[in-house]
């Protein structure tokens, strides 16, 4: 069992401290954003809080582990090509921290209380620690490879739902409108009638934590990055669920189109998504 506070030098303890400290600071900055900047489009936002939180997390990690590598969203040029390149370079490192300082920046900017800090530690390409913190609800999700997943010290378990028709599912709407948005809309159109309903809360990481905790039976989204998914993937696996790409290939760091479920409905969702994309 992972206690809420573990020995101060452990990887997990550092990840927890980073997420808690950054999360508290982010929450304290709600409603104070002075300057809103855009990245790849008018919908792709970044604030001084995203950058400040990332700096805070980087500093704390390097204080404890000066020889570890860090890949953070705000340290990478915007756009899918640059992030794929940055990941390819970084994944060679023995120890790599992958961080999203604020997942759900749009929500943060609007005061919609559904955003999170997501921190993963990767050892030789494999996620070994995943922490997602929701400062609005003070919920801390922690997973350690092979040791289970917990929300504030209580074990998390994926939902037992076997049928799509009684499953609550989440997704996110991509800002890239030429291929990704139409693809996601076709998937949405196909899934809504088959499931209980679909939610789009605006934080991929938090949606994945909710799949781990059994609050959602599944989640899919296209066009994501490693920092959105890495921590959540371990939380879900350690909670008994399944994380793949759209073709059912097991999760690895370069997966951008993710399907994450309780396992029981995984093939059923994959089938609907495949049908939607081929129009059959
Ligand atoms: P962010 O808030 O850290 O940017 C919501 O659908 C999800 O999409 C969030 O996890 C959000 O992460 C992510 N997201 C927002 N803008 C994006 C973009 N331009 N490219 C890829 N992912 C994005
Ligand atoms: Ca962003
Ligand atoms: Ca993100
Ligand atoms: Ca972010």
Domain architecture of the chain: domains with CATH:
11-155 (3.30.540.10), 164-278 (3.40.190.80)
Q: State the average pLDDT over residues 27-46.
A: 90
Give percent above pLDDT 70 in the chain: 96
The pLDDT value recorded for residue 263 is 98
User: Tokens representing 2?
Assistant: 């992972």
Of 223, 255, 256, the one to substitute when testing ligand 1's pocket (max ligand atoms within 8 A of C-beta) is 223
Q: Is 274 exposed, middle or buried (0-12, 13-18, 19+ CB in 10 A)?
A: middle
Atom of ligand 1 nearest to the CA of 105: 2
- Contact by Cβ (8 Å): 53, 117: yes
Between vectors from CA 201 to CA 28 and to CA 277, what angle results, nearest 5°? Answer: 145
Between vectors from CA 177 to CA 173 and to CA 181, what angle results, nearest 5°? Answer: 40
The pLDDT value recorded for residue 38 is 93
The answer, yes or no, to whether ipTM is higher than 0.95 is yes
175 lines ligand 1 (CB under 6 A): yes
276 lines ligand 1 (CB under 6 A): no
- Count other C-beta atoms under 10 Å from residue 31's C-beta: 9
pLDDT tens digits, 114-169: 999 999 999 999 999 999 999 999 999 999 999 999 999 899 999 999 999 999 99
Residues paired with residue 139 on neighbouring β-strands, in sequence order:
134
Half-sphere exposure of 90 (CA within 13 A, CB side): 27
Cut 0.80: pTM above it: yes
The pLDDT value recorded for residue 278 is 85
What band does 35 get if pLDDT is binned at 50, 70 and 90?
Answer: confident
Q: Give long-range contacts, CB 8 A cutoff, 24+ apart: 154-157.
A: 155/1, 156/212, 156/213, 156/214, 156/235, 156/238, 156/239, 157/213, 157/214, 157/239, 157/240
Q: State the average pLDDT over residues 263-272.
A: 98
Atom of ligand 1 nearest to the CA of 100: 3
The pLDDT value recorded for residue 280 is 57
The pLDDT value recorded for residue 99 is 98
- State how far the Cα of 176 lies from the Cα of 79, in Å rounded to an integer: 10
Strand extents, DSSP E, 124-232? 126-134, 139-144, 148-151, 154-155, 168-170, 197-199, 218-221
- Contact by Cβ (8 Å): 261, 275: no
The pLDDT value recorded for residue 34 is 76
- Per-position b or e across 175-198, b if 16+ CB within 10 A of its CB: bbeeebeebbebbbebbeebbeeb
Q: State the average pLDDT over residues 66-91.
A: 96
**Gyration radius (Cα) of the chain, Å:** 18
pLDDT tens digits, 15-32: 999 999 999 999 999 998
What band does 9 get if pLDDT is binned at 50, 70 and 90?
Answer: low
Query: In the predicted model, what is the mean pLDDT of the chain?
Result: 95
Q: State the average pLDDT over residues 217-238.
A: 98
Atom of ligand 1 nearest to the CA of 223: 21
Atom of ligand 1 nearest to the CA of 176: 19
224 lines ligand 1 (CB under 6 A): yes
Structural element, H or E, at residue 120? strand 116-123
135 lines ligand 1 (CB under 6 A): no
Length of the chain: 280
């Amino acid at each position: 069992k992972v206690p809420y506070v573990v020995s101060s030098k452990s990887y997990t303890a550092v990840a927890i401290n980073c997420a808690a400290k950054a999360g508290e600071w982010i929450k304290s900055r709600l409603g104070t954003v002075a300057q809103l900047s855009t990245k790849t489009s008018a919908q792709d936002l970044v604030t001084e809080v995203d950058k400040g939180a990332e700096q805070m997390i980087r500093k704390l990690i390097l204080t404890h582990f000066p020889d570890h590598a860090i890949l953070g969203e705000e340290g990478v040029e915007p756009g899918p090509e640059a992030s794929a390149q940055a990941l390819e370079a970084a994944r060679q490192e023995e120890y790599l921290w992958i961080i999203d300082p604020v997942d759900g920046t749009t929500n943060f900017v609007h005061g919609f209380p559904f955003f999170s800090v997501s921190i993963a530690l990767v050892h030789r390409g494999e996620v070994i620690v995943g922490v997602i913190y929701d400062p609005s609800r003070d919920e801390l999700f922690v997973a350690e490879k092979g040791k289970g997943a917990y929300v504030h010290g209580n074990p998390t378990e994926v939902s037992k739902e076997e049928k799509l028709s009684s499953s609550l599912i989440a997704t996110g709407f991509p800002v890239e409108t030429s291929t990704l948005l139409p693809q996601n809309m076709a998937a949405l159109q196909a899934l809504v009638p088959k499931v209980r309903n679909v939610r789009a809360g605006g934080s991929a990481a938090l949606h994945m934590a909710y799949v781990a905790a059994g609050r959602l039976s599944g989640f899919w989204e296209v066009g994501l990055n490693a920092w959105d998914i890495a921590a959540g993937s371990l939380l879900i696996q350690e909670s008994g669920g399944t994380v793949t790409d759209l073709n059912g290939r097991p999760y690895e760091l370069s997966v951008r189109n993710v399907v994450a479920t309780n396992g029981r409905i995984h093939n059923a969702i994959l089938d609907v998504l495949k049908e939607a994309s081929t129009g059959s």
